[in-house]
Amino acid sequence: MTILVDEARWEWRGARWAHLVSDESHDELHAFALRLGMRRLGFQGDHYDIDDVDRTRALALGASAVGSRELVRCLRAAGLRDRTSKPQWARVGSWPGGHQPTVEPLFAARLAGVDVDLAAATVASFEDDTHRVLLIDVPPGLTLAVDPDVAVIVGAPRADGWRSIEIFVSR
């Protein structure tokens, strides 16, 4: 059971990017990514793309640094290499901080277990062929409480102090 990360050498949007994978399971990968504050929406079918700052944080949390070829070899050996099922999320709603979002009724039951000032957070909704997702980005210092019996994904603070809450609902 190992989390692997390759070199941050792919440039995009002013940063260098790497890949974060598991050689065990997607569940292990998702759990580790959550500790980094990564959004599940960022899952690319078999990996997460992480910038050089998050790569450093991943290594501090116990990820193993490997070359890109070794990373792909480990993914294939574990049967986790999948270049075909990358989710195609479409943004269907967006409310920047300072605006009260209009939350769809299908999220209401789960959102009832989340205590956060939505008007102070940044909120967006996404969909693919099978799911709708409500994404709530909570800025540093904003109080957040989540009922443990509610099925939501709450990430650890990211390097910038923000946290994400994701509510996935089947379509």
pTM to 2 decimal places: 0.86
Same domain assignment for residues 37 and 103: no
Q: Are residue 69 and residue 113 in the same domain, yes or no?
A: no
Q: What is the domain count for the chain? A: 2
* Percentage above 90 pLDDT, the chain: 71
Q: Which of 49, 77, 105 is the last residue of a domain?
A: 77
The DSSP result for 59-107, as a single string, is: HHTTPEE--HHHHHHHHHHTT---SS-----EEEEEE-TTS-----HHH
Please check whether residue 100 lies inside any domain of the structure. Answer: yes
Domain region containing 129: 90-170
> Are 8 and 50 within one domain?
yes
In the predicted model, is pLDDT for residue 17 greater than 90?
yes
CA-nearest of 13, 22, 12, 11 to 66 is 22
For the stretch 97-125, pLDDT in tens is 888 888 888 898 889 899 999 999 999 99
50-96 pLDDT, tens digit per residue, is 999 999 999 999 999 999 999 999 999 999 888 777 778 999 999 98
Based on the fold, state whether residues 65 and 94 are members of the same structural domain: no
Is residue 85 one of the residues assigned to a domain?
Answer: no
Q: Has residue 130 been placed in a domain?
A: yes
- Average pLDDT over the chain reads 92
Q: Is residue 105 part of a domain?
A: yes
